[in-house]
Amino acid sequence: MPVAFRRLGRSLSVALVVLLLLTLPGLLRLAMAPPHLRLFPGQAYLLREGFFYRWVDPEARGWLASTASGLRLQSDALGHGRLELRLLGWLPLGTMEVSVVPRVQVVPGGQSIGVLAAMDGLVIERTVDLPARPGEGSVRSPAAEAGVRAGDRLLSIDGHPVQRPADVERWTQLAGRQGRPVRLEVERGSERLSVRVRPLRVEEGGQERFLLGILLRETTAGVGTLTFYHPGEQVFAALGHQVTDSRNRPVTLHQGRIVLAPVEGLRRSLSGDPGEKVGVLDGSGPLGIIEKNTPFGIYGRLLREPPHGLFDHPIPVALAHEVRPGPAQMLTVLEGQSVQAFEVEILEVRSQRAPSDRGLVLEITDPRLLARTDGIIQGMSGSPIIQNDRLVGAVTHVFVNQPRRGFGILAEWMVYETGLDQALPWAEGEPQAREAQERKRVA
């Protein structure tokens, strides 16, 4: 190979190494920057630059201004734009979307709620082997022998709809005494099946009973906590994570309901065994209709304003970059429907390039709460987290082996799931917002 070509090759290699060294800090900075930054009107955000790379506004919106502290990004008007990170002012390294959005305000919750599925029937949790007669050991479940499976939904017996285990007991005993099988209508996925099962006679406490060999569960998805609601738009958010069944599959909750569920007891957390709230549905009617069961909680239409809250007025929702490690408060119920505020510490705010229900790491620090529960327990999911008079997130998960610590979801992600950022075209509290709401009421 000619000497000139070798020299050219070495020169190009050196140039590429130099270019890589110049580019690498910018690429690292870009990787640390949010892919989509959201700001409120008038809110400033400082961008870091380097000697060889800087942020550029290709659309010349006038959002950037150099200050002694760094490059300031700020806009007084709502809108969307794009910034580019450029090497030496001309070579694009990447982009960051910027949105100036209205300041959304919501009323924090904290109330204990029960989540009711809308589906008819009862869930077959599992099939159960039954004792035959004394001395004969056990047999398989009659229902299992007929083809019934765990996870099936029992809709009716002999044409009679069933909503409670007592309904199943009634028709099973009748068929058993008459010495005939029952016809079960079950739902499995998108299929409906008709299954004939002969009840098995057993003796319990000296009394004769007829059983099918199934363990039933009502369509209550459990107890959780209301995160927030918006009275004007009549929407609510709760739980902060998805409702799933025993096989970790999402539960169909469309047109389900949320109801008040006063707390009647507590079971403390232990390492490896999270405790729980024991709630009872109060029967006062639904608070709201569930429209979505998402990885970030349940959302729906509010039917009436929840009672017993600590807040009777809305507070701002913090954007992700406004949340900081440090002291905060968690709202939840430990007894009845009395919402209380407890001290927590936000240990970590995770930089997220996509929504997740684990954006915060928090620790319970309030001695009152630790004395009652020793940490986060089941039923606290959705408990609002307040910092600097803003709603910053909600509790979602407990660290099983460290129950005083857990995860939380950023409130910003939950607001987007409600659609409030689209429903409220102006920052709430500004004259335009009040005029828009008045026009909506008149219409």
Nearest Cα to Cα of residue 87 among 21, 28, 26: 26
Query: How many other C-beta atoms can be found within 10 angstroms of the C-beta atom of residue 205?
Result: 5
Q: Which of 217, 238, 256 is the last residue of a domain?
A: 217
Separation of alpha carbons 258 and 352, rounded Å: 30
Q: What is the chain's pLDDT, residue by residue, as a tens digit (443 residues)?
A: 565 555 555 655 555 555 555 455 544 554 456 777 888 887 888 887 766 678 888 887 888 888 877 788 888 888 888 888 887 767 777 788 888 888 899 999 999 999 987 667 788 888 888 876 555 556 778 999 999 998 888 999 999 988 778 889 999 999 999 999 999 999 988 899 999 999 998 877 778 889 999 988 766 668 999 999 999 999 999 999 998 876 777 877 767 889 999 999 999 988 888 899 998 887 778 899 999 999 999 999 999 999 889 998 999 999 988 999 999 999 999 999 999 999 999 999 987 767 888 999 999 999 999 999 999 999 999 999 999 999 999 999 999 899 999 999 999 999 989 988 776 544 344 433 333 333 333 32
The answer as to whether 8 is a domain residue is no
Q: Taking the mean position of all CA atoms in its chain, how far away is CA 199?
A: 42
The verdict on 250 and 208 lying in the same domain is: no
Would you say 142 and 215 are in contact if contact means Cβ atoms under 8 Å apart?
Answer: no
Which among 408, 403, 287, 389 has a CA at the least distance from the CA of 347? 408
Return the DSSP state at 353.
Answer: S
207 and 132 in one domain?
A: yes
8 A C-beta contact, residue 99 and residue 36? yes
What CA–CA distance (Å, rounded) separates 400 from 350? Answer: 20
| CATH number, residue 403 | 2.40.10.120
Together in a domain, 210 and 271:
no
Map residue 7 onto helix, strand or coil: helix
Host H or E run for residue 173:
helix 165-177
Pair 370, 267 in one domain: yes
Dihedral, CA atoms, 150, 151, 157, 163, nearest 10 degrees?
Answer: 130
CA distances to 223, 226, 299 from 258, rounded to whole Å, are: 10, 9, 10
**What total number of domains does the chain contain?**
3
Whether 147 and 285 map to the same domain: the answer is: no
Contact between residue 38 and residue 104 where contact means Cβ atoms under 8 Å apart: no
- Please report, as a single letter, which amino acid is at residue 152: D
Do 228 and 337 lie in one domain? The reply is yes
Q: What 3-state DSSP class applies to 101?
A: coil
Kindly state whether residues 202 and 227 are assigned to the same domain. no
**Contact at 8 Å (CB) between 153 and 122?**
yes
Under 8 Å between Cβ of 122 and 219: yes
| SS3 (DSSP) at 332 | strand
Question: Which alpha helices (DSSP H) does 57-185 contain, by range?
Answer: 142-145, 165-177
> Which residue range(s) make up the domain with 150?
120-217
Q: How far apart are CA 317 and CA 313, in angstroms?
A: 13
